[in-house]
Amino acid sequence: MEKYAIILAAGKGTRMKSKRDDISKVSFPILGQPLVKYVINALKPLGFKKLVAVVGFGGKTSEKIVKDECEVVWQLEQKGTGHAVMMAGPVLEKLEGETIVCCGDTPLLTTETFEALFKAHEENGNAMTVMTSILEDPFGYGRIVKVNGNVTKIVEQKDATEEERAINEVNAGVYVFDNAKLFEALGHLTTKNAAGEYYLTDVLGIFVNNGFKVGSYPVKDPDETLGVNDRNQLSIAAKIIQKRINKAHMVAGVSIEDPDNTYIAPTVKIGQDTTIAPGSYIMGNTVIGEESLIGPNTTLKDAKVGNHAKVVMSSVSNAEIKDGEEIGPFANVK
């Protein structure tokens, strides 16, 4: 069955507190890579027929980031998540298959989790599957209400009864739909709510009323579902990604002396038996060979470093350090 993805990347991100109107929330970087690129890179291995990015506020910035890998549609007016998905209609509404809808500000979600979500959706014969988290303290989150194991509604904190507030399975804001049923249901959404917006979550009620099966998939690691809504959450996500990247390099044979004080972009390649000393920032498309020493207190950006080389207390940008060459301390190579 064909798979499609809709990435919601149109939000202003008011809580990011930026004065610039050319920066979208999903363009904020972690280790030099925009938030939305983490989402795209996690989705791509699943072999989607179409990836559609919905852009809006700061859209020209977002479009530039995603246009090489996604079809871009515009949400020129901010009328809710349901309205954002409607914007993908001209690209997807006539197609058969499964569509995932996710947000461009969730950089911690992994390919494995997306794959498991689709597997649960297909194995259970669902028309809609909601990604969820199981939380010890679910306060403030939309609760997943079930009958006989099937999801019947999502209830927000302020609207929940005492019994519903005791539910610890909460909405993570990622959904898989039968594509044809999704776009049929979108045509029945209304703006009869306090915000005057089209809510994507209202599709769930339409599905249930039509007798379609709605299920949930609880993620194994609730941290993955963290959305970045302010700069504090950006820093939390950045620390988790930093640890993931550093761990992957160490498992592959790179020595990182102080992982908490080493910052490596997701696009960097490092050879075996190379040592990275504390205070190193390795960004862009940097490639480092084997048995080299980088750091301490060194910055590399889009650099190429050969085998058995040393770069100590220096900065190298868009330059090549050859095999066995030693740079620093206090060098600035461009």
Does residue 62 sit within a domain? yes
Same domain, yes or no: 162 and 302 = no
Cα dihedral across residues 29, 32, 36, 42: positive or negative: negative
Does residue 231 sit within a domain? no
Ramachandran angles phi, psi of 195, nearest 5°: -85, -15
Same domain, yes or no: 272 and 159 = no
pLDDT of residue 287: 98
Distances (CA, A) of 150 to 129, 135, 139, 194: 10, 19, 22, 28
Whether the link from the prior residue into 329 is cis, omega within 30° of 0, is yes
DSSP 56: B
∠ CA 70-108-89, nearest 5°, is 30
Contacts of 286 (CB under 8 A, 6+ apart): 265, 267, 268, 269, 300, 301, 302, 303, 304, 305
Does residue 211 sit within a domain? yes
User: Could you please report the per-residue DSSP string of 150-194?
Assistant: EEEEEE-GGG--HHHHT--EEEEEEEEEEHHHHHHHHTT----ST
Distance (Å, whole) CA 72 – CA 86: 13
Does residue 236 sit within a domain? no
Same domain, yes or no: 124 and 204 = yes
Same domain, yes or no: 101 and 175 = yes
Same domain, yes or no: 199 and 71 = yes
Does residue 162 sit within a domain? yes
Same domain, yes or no: 87 and 168 = yes
Same domain, yes or no: 190 and 265 = no
Q: Estimate to the nearest angstrom the gap between the alpha carbon of 203 and the chain centroid.
A: 23
Q: Catalytic residue at 244?
A: no
pLDDT of residue 65: 97
Give the CATH number for residue 115: 3.90.550.10
Give the CATH number for residue 267: 2.160.10.10
Same domain, yes or no: 212 and 309 = no
pLDDT of residue 140: 92
Same domain, yes or no: 192 and 68 = yes
- Amino acid at the residue 292: S
Does residue 237 sit within a domain? no
- Amino acid at the residue 87: M
Same domain, yes or no: 100 and 213 = yes
pLDDT tens over the chain, length 334 residues? 899 999 999 988 899 999 988 889 999 999 999 999 999 999 999 999 999 999 999 999 999 999 999 999 999 999 999 999 999 999 999 999 999 999 999 999 999 999 999 999 999 999 999 999 999 999 999 999 999 999 999 999 999 999 999 999 999 999 999 999 999 999 999 998 888 999 999 999 999 999 999 999 999 999 999 999 999 999 999 999 999 999 999 999 999 999 999 999 999 999 999 999 999 999 999 999 999 999 999 999 999 999 999 999 999 999 999 999 999 999 999 9
Does residue 103 sit within a domain? yes
- Which one is catalytic: 15, 20, 165, 231? 15
Does residue 238 sit within a domain? no
Question: What order of strands is seen across the sheet that includes strand 269-270?
Answer: 269-270, 287-288, 304-305, 320-321
- Beta strands 287-288; 304-305: pairing state: parallel
- Amino acid at the residue 264: I
Same domain, yes or no: 159 and 264 = no
Same domain, yes or no: 54 and 142 = yes
pLDDT of residue 12: 86
pLDDT of residue 206: 98
What domain range is 112 assigned to? 3-225
Distance (Å, whole) CA 129 – CA 5: 14
3-state secondary structure of 47: coil
Helix 179-186 vs helix 202-209: crossing angle, to nearest 10: 110
Q: Name the domain count of the chain.
A: 2
pLDDT of residue 193: 87
